[in-house]
Amino acid sequence: MAKKKEEAFSARKYMEMAIQVMNKSIQEPRQDKVSPKVGAVLIKPDGTEETAFRGELRHGDHAEFTLLERKNRSNLLDGSILFATLEPCAPEARKYPKLGCAERIVNARIKKVWIGIEDPDPTVDRKGIKYLLDNGVEVEMFDVDLQKQIRDANKRFIKEAEERAKMANDKKLSIVLSEKERTEPRAELNDLSKTHLDAFIKKAKLDVEWNTPEFYKILTQLGILELKGEKFLPTGLGLLLFGERPQLIYQNALIRATYKTKGRGEDIDTIEGSLISQADKIQQWYESHIGKQINRSSTERKITYDYPLVVFREAIINAIVHRDYDIDGAPIYFEINDDAIIIKSPGGPVKPITLEQIKRFNAPSLSRNPKIMYVFDQMDLVEQRGLGFQTIKDLPTKHNLPLPLVSYEAPYMVLTFPRNIEAAKKVADKPNVAKLTDAQLRGYEWLKTIGEASTREYSVHFDIGYKTAQRHLAAMKELSLVRDNGEDANSPKYKYVVKE
């Protein structure tokens, strides 16, 4: 079916189409594993559309393979756009002589690919995306709510893929996401903590004994060890995750924590050790420095922190897991002061995620360090994969607190969490924010998460009168915090848009 030329391109429309097609996927006739449900949509330069799903024409055939090789093998596809619900498999992920779907996409000269979710296998996660980007293909991710639909439809496949990552095999891709995936020649096996590794082995249910052939095979498969000559040596990731003191080699792999307040002076600490131990250490430091109250009104004593522990924990764990460990001389900085809690994490947004998506807290799920994420997930140190910024995004509704400010100050991503509404006015990156009333500021905070809204939508969300909503939005517009979307003021399409 040809697309009308005057019709505006709607990425969302094709994302939803790909998911509809995905749900037609056919399970392979085998009992040992579940096939993924995958759908793909191709938009050709002439505007025509074509779809495919896994197993559509032959059991086991990938959706992209069906679309590109079976349905369009003799057609020129230069400049086409592809939507795929699962990350295209990376080069070498399939047995020779089969090509990975990412290679087929590059060979077909597809100009842009929209991807639903990343490959759930941590050993290949994001490597198909990297191959596309490295070969000049533009990449974007599906919207967060649609990613959830894809994950829900593939729960069993994702679980099995994560479990298969624990099984020793010979699959190792030459594509690397970080230099820390390589062997660290300055480290030895005894630089790793047996305590930390034993805890991981037990928590991940690996069922292997220390110092056995199976132990070395599985840890090599997970990218923690690598065989060099006749010796097994830690990779950089292995040293970071499980080293007794990785800072002897990676001086930047630590957290500089500062507490400064007018009433209680200044306290500075350095959090070192393995990454998994840093998560506990920084939480203990936070608990000892943030204000708290003890509620003894019930039989069970309850501690309430001046800033929610669950929000802090998600933010700091995200910083540890997703920071760029290849940037020398750049630790994580963490600060508590009277007005705000500030986290500075090395590294810009992970391509294809954009700073604007992060500022709106609707960035798709994608990890810079999939193997670190996998270990943290297996040890229950992170929230369920795919939740993204939901805990932070819920600050206004669940905790009556402002959203954090997000900025990039090379080489750091900076999250500044105002500790209350008044503090939000003090630390705001736009001076006119201080001129808003508290109610208007809450409205502005909500608008930042969704980007735009009509007066009616604003009125319904806050359960206030239409005229009151109109006054709030007019005040924001007058202060140059929002603008209109260019539609006629009397049009039902008229909306207010947050200014960047």
Here the contacts of 426-429 (C-beta below 8 Å, separation 24 or greater) are 426/339, 427/339, 427/340, 429/405
Identify the weakest region by mean pLDDT among 85-99, 199-213, 272-286: 85-99
Instruction: Provide the CATH number for the domain around residue 340.
Output: 3.30.565.60
The strand ranges marked E within 331-463 are 332-336, 340-346, 405-409, 412-418, 452-453
The whole-number pLDDT of residue 1 equals 37
Which of 481, 477, 443 shows the shortest CA–CA distance to 463? 443
Asked which of 424, 441, 474 is the last residue of a domain, the reply is 424
Backbone phi, then psi, for 266, in 5-degree steps?
A: -130, 140
Residue 95: pLDDT band by 50, 70, 90 thresholds? confident
Q: What DSSP character marks residue 403?
A: P
Q: For residue range 252-298, what is the model confidence (pLDDT) as tens digits?
A: 999 999 999 887 778 999 999 999 999 999 999 999 999 887 766 65
Q: What number of other Cβ atoms are within 10 A of residue 316's Cβ?
A: 25
Q: Is residue 154 part of a domain?
A: yes
Q: Is residue 146 part of a domain?
A: yes
Residues 277, 225 share a domain:
no
Q: Is residue 336 part of a domain?
A: yes
Cα–Cα distance list, 460 to 171, 456, 472, 483, 491 (Å):
53, 6, 13, 20, 18
Q: What number of other Cβ atoms are within 10 A of residue 238's Cβ?
A: 30
Residue 174: pLDDT band by 50, 70, 90 thresholds? confident
The structure's pTM equals 0.90
Residues 112, 88 share a domain:
yes
Instruction: Provide the CATH number for the domain around residue 31.
Output: 3.40.140.10
Q: Rounded to whole angstroms, how far apart are CA atoms 478 and 382?
A: 42
Q: Rounded to whole angstroms, how far apart are CA atoms 363 and 344?
A: 18
Q: Is residue 6 part of a domain?
A: no
The whole-number pLDDT of residue 301 equals 64
Mean of the pLDDT values across residues 54-78? 96
Residues 284, 156 share a domain:
no
Q: Rounded to whole angstroms, how far apart are CA atoms 452 and 146?
A: 19
Query: Domains in the chain: how many in total?
Result: 4
Q: Is residue 372 part of a domain?
A: yes
Cβ atoms of 27 and 55 closer than 8 Å = yes
Residues 230, 84 share a domain:
no
Cβ atoms of 358 and 141 closer than 8 Å = no
Q: For residue range 427-460, what is the model confidence (pLDDT) as tens digits?
A: 999 999 999 999 999 999 899 888 899 999 999 9
Q: For residue 83, what are the contacts with CB-CB under 8 A and spacing of at least 6?
A: 11, 14, 15, 17, 18, 40, 41, 42, 43, 113, 114
Residues 448, 494 share a domain:
yes
Q: For residue range 130-155, what is the model confidence (pLDDT) as tens digits?
A: 999 999 999 999 999 999 999 999 99
Asked which of 133, 162, 191 is the last residue of a domain, the reply is 162
Residues 416, 469 share a domain:
no
Q: Is residue 459 part of a domain?
A: yes
Is the model's pLDDT at 5 over the cut of 60?
no
Residues 44, 140 share a domain:
yes
The whole-number pLDDT of residue 6 equals 45
Q: Is residue 97 part of a domain?
A: yes
Residues 131, 66 share a domain:
yes
Q: For residue range 359-402, what is the model confidence (pLDDT) as tens digits?
A: 888 899 899 999 999 999 999 998 756 555 788 888 888 888 99
Residues 375, 461 share a domain:
no
Residues 83, 203 share a domain:
no
Residues 275, 234 share a domain:
no
Which of 56, 113, 44 shows the shortest CA–CA distance to 85? 113
Q: For residue range 378-390, what is the model confidence (pLDDT) as tens digits?
A: 999 987 565 557 8
What token pair was written down for 45? 């330069």
Residues 191, 79 share a domain:
no
Q: Which domain holds residue 52?
A: 11-162
Instruction: Provide the CATH number for the domain around residue 434.
Output: 1.10.10.10
Asked which of 405, 424, 443 is the last residue of a domain, the reply is 424
Q: Rounded to whole angstroms, how far apart are CA atoms 369 and 237?
A: 9
Q: Is residue 170 part of a domain?
A: no
